[in-house]
Structure 1
Amino acid sequence: MFSRNQKNFSKILATLLLIVASIGMVYYKQEIEKSSEAVYETYFLIFQVLFFSVLGYSAISWFYKLIRNYRLLKNEKTEAELSLLKSKIDPHFFFNTLNNLYGLAMTKSDKTPEVILKLSEIMRYTIYEGEKNLTPLKNEISYLEEYIDIQKIRYQKNVDIEFLKDVQDDSQLVAPLLFIMLVENAFKHGIESLAKNAFVRFHLFQEGHTVTFEVENNYERKIENKLNGMGLMNLKKRLQYLYPNRHSLDLTENATTYRAKMSLSIK
């Protein structure tokens, strides 16, 4: 309220000064035409300087406000787009896991409570931690471990899943829900496309203020190009917003193997 009143007072004061300066210029202009005294020219000059100073200040203030409003709108748009991108985490995993839960429940498997608990933790993290701008790296690691553990329980076939971690300081802050997109991609387009001999390897390591996440999996080549999938497109957009000029994302594939390497400068 105080700030708004202060702004209104500034506008009123500027308007009054412009009016006074205008009247002063008109008055002393007339006096100059009537008399040759130099003092009138001095007064006219004073009011002229006052007029253009107030006018210039008002113009600069208006321009600054215009730029500030533009930046605010741009930031709001960016935040809205980021929220939308974060909400596009593939629901495919949740649907399949619920189907598996149903199957486990029907067979009265001892694994059912474990899967329910892990799925609950994953959903909680996705909803609540995902809303934050930054989260400790250890939280992201725990989230990935819960996700990978569920995947190990889900698949009935023989799957070689490996998750290596070499992190010096897991309290470092990173944007949440970035690594999961590469993990989801590896399972969805890798293990699920193979009937046997499927493998997926994850390696998360830290060197100083750089965190690197590498993913390698085999797959069965299909017509669609995974390099342009929606999940990866969303990941690229989020990286551009969150780590401009501070990230790299390399995606390569051959006839049987797909590799992804993402590096973040988190200083």
Structure 2
Amino acid sequence: MIKFLDKYKAFLIGLIIIPIFYLLERIGFIIIPEDSHIVFNYFTLFWGLVIGFASYYFKYLKNKKETVVKVLGIIILFFTALTIDSIMDIPDNPITFILLMGFWFGLAFLLIPSFIKKYWKLITLIYAPLFLYFIYLRLFSGDVEAYLKIKEDFPIVIFFFPIPVLFLIWIFDQWKWVQNLKAEKAKTELSLLKTQINPHFFFNTLNNLYALTVKNSKQAPEVILKLSDMMRYTIYEGEKETVKLQDEIDYLNNYIELHKIRYKKSVEITFKHDIDPSISVAPLLYIILLENAFKHGVETLAENAFIHIELYQQDGFIHFDIENNFDPNELEESNGIGLKNLKRRLLLNYDKNYELLVEAKNDIYTTTLKTPKHA
């Protein structure tokens, strides 16, 4: 308990303001209406907490001198308004009214400066006519008694009516900011995921290319061209939100051809694509599934390996089906980073409007990816 009190003693000190206000009333410095003691208690509690927070975060505030000066400025402005109102004792004192308006706008600017800067014209448009009308009624409509009669039809509380509207605008602004932040975060994450395409393929292909050049193989120029096209596609086209399906097909074909050069064994690979090649799709989605088919299928088998791929359109969705065999005894444990990467990218691109099914039955993997026609 003692540790708790020691930690939060700043707030206890702040609450001393309550008896101070009542002392000021007793000596006649301020006047508290008989029917307003509850409201006044809330009022003093608020300022007690303000002082408590200031004491509790003293070290932090010490490094924020400009902010502290602004806060002290509006506090001084507030107490100046109270002092003038108490001394002059005039109903709806225009001077007090102007000072209090300055206090509330100053407080709002301190808490939400960007909102005030953005909507200052709207705020001015709302409050300037109300303020000028009040000044006109208070100073030019006759004596105080005449004003008090008019006031019944023009209560001062009307100045608070626009606050809920401005508050809703601020809420909308915050919601829009959060949505933009989420979109920017998703875009950044998506860009990062695109760069995580397995680099081992490129390293292996470069090693194979080195072997071909040593042997002066006629295949070397073809390999260089295909590898160059794939690297260009990965670096430049992969950064785009969408690409033409034909470009993705060419990329997969280059990948298949380069893999065929690696293997001395016979591998049956078919790739059927009966679909409009001008359709736009998200780039580098299918390569992960094809890469898995080689890594966990072809490379586990000594012979009779196969990969069957089909790309087609059905019911407004693009289907990518891939089937390959594997040797269960040779299959290594995988951490599944490629599939996790793919699932995250699909979620960022299509939300939940996609299907990814992976099934292993006997010695055959069947994978189906279904995405909307438009990325």
TM-score by length of structure 1 reads: 0.85
Structure 2 residue ranges without an equivalent (≥5): 1-114
Which stretch of the first structure deviates more once superposed, 117-126 or 233-242?
233-242
Residue equivalent to 2:294: 187
- Bigger-Rg structure (1/2): 2
Residue equivalent to 1:123: 231
Matched AA of 1:199: F
Corresponding residue to 2:357 among 240, 243, 250:
250
Post-superposition Cα deviations, 1:131-171, rounded to whole Å, max 9, x if no partner, equal 1111111111111111111111221211111111111x211
1:216 partner SS: strand
Corresponding residue to 1:145 among 228, 233, 253:
253
Change (3 A) 1:170 1:208: farther
- Counterparts of 1:1-267 in structure 2, within 5 Å, are 7=118, 9-10=120-121, 13=124, 17=128, 20=131, 34=145, 38-44=149-155, 47-49=156-158, 51-167=159-275, 169-221=276-328, 222-224=331-333, 229-267=336-374
Find the aligned partners of 2:360 and 2:119 in 1 and give their Cα distance.
Answer: 62
Q: Relative CO higher for 1 or 2, CA cutoff 8 Å, sep ≥ 6?
A: 1
Post-superposition Cα deviations, 1:33-52, rounded to whole Å, max 9, x if no partner, equal 846964221122xx533x22
**TM superposition shift of 1:209:** 2.4
Find the aligned partners of 2:124 and 2:194 in 1 and give their Cα distance.
Answer: 47
Change (3 A) 1:180 1:18: farther
**TM superposition shift of 1:199:** 1.0
Find the aligned partners of 1:191 and 1:244 in 2 and give their Cα distance.
Answer: 32
Matched AA of 1:191: V
Post-superposition Cα deviations, 1:47-106, rounded to whole Å, max 9, x if no partner, equal 533x22332232122212211111111111111111111111111211111111111111
Matched AA of 2:345: R
Matched AA of 1:145: N
Post-superposition Cα deviations, 1:184-221, rounded to whole Å, max 9, x if no partner, equal 11111111121221111111112252110111111122
Residues 247 and 265 in structure 1, CA contact (< 8 A), matched pair in contact too = yes
Matched AA of 1:20: F
Change (3 A) 1:223 1:99: closer
Residues 14 and 58 in structure 1, CA contact (< 8 A), matched pair in contact too = no
Give the RMSD, CA atoms, in angstroms.
3.0
Change (3 A) 1:54 1:255: same
Residues 138 and 147 in structure 2, CA contact (< 8 A), matched pair in contact too = no
**TM superposition shift of 1:108:** 0.8
User: Which structure shows the bigger proportion of residues in strand conformation?
Assistant: 1
Identity of aligned residues (%): 42
Find the aligned partners of 1:21 and 1:190 in 2 and give their Cα distance.
Answer: 81
Number of positions where the alignment pairs a residue of Structure 1 with one of Structure 2:
256
Residues 298 and 325 in structure 2, CA contact (< 8 A), matched pair in contact too = yes
**TM superposition shift of 1:255:** 3.4
Residues 21 and 48 in structure 1, CA contact (< 8 A), matched pair in contact too = no
Structure 1 residue ranges without an equivalent (≥5): none
Matched AA of 1:10: K
Find the aligned partners of 1:254 and 1:195 in 2 and give their Cα distance.
Answer: 20
Change (3 A) 1:58 1:126: same
